[in-house]
Amino acid sequence: MNVLISGGCKNGKTGFALKTADRLACGKNKYYVATMIPCDDEDRDRINRHIAERADMGFKTLEVSRNIGSCIEMAGENGTFLIDSITALLLNEMFSFNNREAENVEGTKNDEGTEDSNGTENNEAVARCIRGLKKILEKARNAVFVTDYIYSDAVRYDAVTENYRASLAAIDRFLAKECDVVIELCAGARFEHKGGF
């Protein structure tokens, strides 16, 4: 079974996803695929909270910040994979420079040797994410994907941010179509948009 869990930041998505993946695993192999590259103390605090949250749940942690399909080779196909999060994965694929805290970085080379202008119009990043996610959807026993619902407000941002939001929306649409269950968490409420438990 494949499950997409979306919602606003800090709405309990990771906790809910851990319980969902644990239930789907039925005592068999389960992997927490951590995609975030920490840039500041807030990121490190969030990572530490997530580590504490799953400490006694028996998840094996795989740190995969790019090339998400590689988690299948790392762990094998017979398992339940929790990918947390698609939001961070796309960030890593779009902005491939090492020093994320540097300001106004332009003309950075990505792994393919082509130039990114701070991620604007970078459709290849979306394609890389979707290729890797397809591999997980096709080969994993179960998969749970966590994403952030950051693309629906009425505020207009700069071109780089708008491209990032549109790119995340494209990936989330792909996952919503492919997953058996789509759940949104919002202000403590749970909305099942597709499938259910």
Kindly report the number of other CB atoms within 10 A of residue 128's CB atom: 23
Per-residue pLDDT of the chain (197 residues; tens, 9 = 90+): 999 999 987 788 999 999 999 999 999 999 999 998 877 788 788 778 877 778 889 999 999 999 999 999 999 888 999 999 999 999 999 986 544 433 333 333 344 433 344 444 568 999 999 999 999 999 999 999 999 999 877 788 999 999 999 999 999 999 999 999 999 998 888 999 999 87
d(CA 133, CA 145): 9
pTM listed for this prediction: 0.84
* Tokens 């759940």 -> residue: 183
d(CA 171, CA 70): 18
What's the half-sphere exposure (Cβ side, CA atoms, 13 Å) at 174?
Answer: 18
* Tokens 């996952």 -> residue: 175
Question: Among candidates 143, 145, 1, 128, which has minimal Cα distance to 75?
Answer: 143
What's the total number of domains in the chain? 1
Residue 170 tokens, joined: 């494209």
**Reduced to 3 states, what is the DSSP secondary structure of residue 194?**
strand
Q: For the domain that residue 18 is a member of, what is the CATH number?
A: 3.40.50.300
Domain enclosing residue 62, as ranges: 2-98+107-149+157-194
d(CA 109, CA 170): 23
